[in-house]
């Protein structure tokens, strides 16, 4: 799901705070769905500001591109420490930028957002024990972005990892890890043979790219 469409329609302009008519309609639809869910006995949590909720959802979805590049089931991917460290790097980069922007992601999992990268870096045995719920999934399940590549469709990487890159640009900073994940996903879209990155080479590429993380850009694209 695109960040702009999550929860309340469109991500508001942080400088003007203005929302479009489409946003207003989406918010009304969301309210109606929430009321229906409450009547059905489903848990309902109200938030005055949806932006922190949108961002914590995006932090979790940063794995979509990594899973797509790995070309393997989510359970198998997350069981391997190199892939988890790739996700931890993408999340750490996003969290640092969010802190600079004064945005505190909401908590939607037992692990607070700020602890996610550390949690992903745990040794396999501890991760398997503490992250049992994360690994209790269909052994064949893959991310929607992986399904897109398999079907020859364009992915939504620009609306997930790309949102971190856009935030960095607004702050006059770089987001090299998420930028590289966007580039690799687009390369995979154009490739005649779908790539299947193993964990260590992908992690090495991201580490090489991160050497310029959070440095002031000399020239910001328009």
Q: The whole model's pTM is what?
A: 0.75
* Mean pLDDT within 45-51: 65
C-alpha 160/C-alpha 25 separation (Å) is 23
C-alpha 177/C-alpha 86 separation (Å) is 9
C-alpha 32/C-alpha 36 separation (Å) is 6
Give the pair of three-digit tokens for residue 202. Answer: 């992908």
pLDDT computed for residue 46 by the predictor? 53
Domain 48-212 maps to which CATH number in 1.10.1040.10, 3.30.1360.10, 3.40.50.720, 3.40.50.150?
1.10.1040.10
Give the chain's mean pLDDT: 80
Task: Give residue 41's pLDDT band: very low, low, confident or very high (50, 70, 90).
Answer: low
Task: Give residue 185's pLDDT band: very low, low, confident or very high (50, 70, 90).
Answer: very high
Least confident of 65-79, 103-117, 185-199: 103-117
Instruction: Evaluate whether 148 touches 64 at the Cβ level (below 8 Å).
Output: no
Instruction: Kindly report, as residue ranges, where domains of CATH 1.10.1040.10 are found in the chain.
Output: 48-212
**Rounded (10°) CA dihedral 142, 144, 150, 153:** -170
Q: What length does the chain have?
A: 222
- Which residues are CB-contacts of 82 (< 8 A; sequence separation ≥ 6)? 198, 199, 200, 202, 203
């Amino acid at each position: 799901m695109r960040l702009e469409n999550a929860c309340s329609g469109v991500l508001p302009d942080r400088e003007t705070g203005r929302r479009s008519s489409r946003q207003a309609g989406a918010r009304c639809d969301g309210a109606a769905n929430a009321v229906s869910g409450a009547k059905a006995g489903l848990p309902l949590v109200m938030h005055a500001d949806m932006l922190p909720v949108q961002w914590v959802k995006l932090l979790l979805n940063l794995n979509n591109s990594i899973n797509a590049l790995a070309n393997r089931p989510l359970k198998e991917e997350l069981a391997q420490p190199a892939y988890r460290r790739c996700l931890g790097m993408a999340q750490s980069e996003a969290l640092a930028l969010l802190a600079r922007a004064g945005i505190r992601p909401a908590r939607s999992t037992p692990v607070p957002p700020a602890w996610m990268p550390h949690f992903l870096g745990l040794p396999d045995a501890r991760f398997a024990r503490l992250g049992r719920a994360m690994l209790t999934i269909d052994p064949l399940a893959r991310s929607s972005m992986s399904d897109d590549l398999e079907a020859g469709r364009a992915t939504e990487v620009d609306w997930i990892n790309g949102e971190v890159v856009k935030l960095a640009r607004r702050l006059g900073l770089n987001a090299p890890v998420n930028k590289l994940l966007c580039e690799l996903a687009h390369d995979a879209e154009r490739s005649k043979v779908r790539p299947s990155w193993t964990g260590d080479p992908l992690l090495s590429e991201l580490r090489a790219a991160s050497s310029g993380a959070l440095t002031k850009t000399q020239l910001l694209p328009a």
